[in-house]
Amino acid sequence: MWFSRKQLAKEPGGGASAVGTENQPGQITTKRLGDAAELLAQAHLVRAGLTLVQANYRTPGRGGGEVDLIMRAPDGTLVFVEVRQRTSSSHGGAGASIGATKRRRIIFAARHYLMRFSTPPPCRFDVVLVEGEAGSRGVMTVEWLRGAFDAD
């Protein structure tokens, strides 16, 4: 049965819990899947020789941007990494979800981060695609796309 928000607000317990849509401890949410994908991507990049500089860098204010991982390559290049996770490759998979608006926000956040340097180091934008399902039977693949897009 479907309930409107007004009907749910009248229910005892006040809201979404009346129909069992509240997140329970241990429940898999898109936030938890995303966090797990970022940790998997970070571990993959560290094994490849990069070092973590910062995770989840956000610009202040509304409408800004975010960089999932900022890494440093062995040659000193600062690598801004976007991590995309999808459980299925339908609709183009994880890579298809990085549109022009998303790239613009990542570039905006990277430029904001680089303002702290008097002379910015060499930089590039990488993407790590994590596809598949976690769990005992799930197979997850990690694909690292170096220099996936430019700031131009």
Domain ranges of the chain: 28-149
For 67-90, write each residue's pLDDT tens digit. 999 999 999 999 999 998 876 555
> What's the pTM?
0.75
Residue type, 78: L
For 117-131, write each residue's pLDDT tens digit. 999 999 999 999 988
Nearest CA among 24, 25, 6, 26 for reference residue 14: 6
* Assigned fold of 28-149: Trna Endonuclease; Chain: A, domain 1 (3.40.1350)
Number of Cα atoms under 13 Å in the Cβ half of residue 46: 12
Exposure string of 38-61, with b = 16+ CB inside 10 Å and e = fewer, is bebbbebbeeeebeeeebebebee
**Which of helix, strand or coil describes residue 65?**
coil
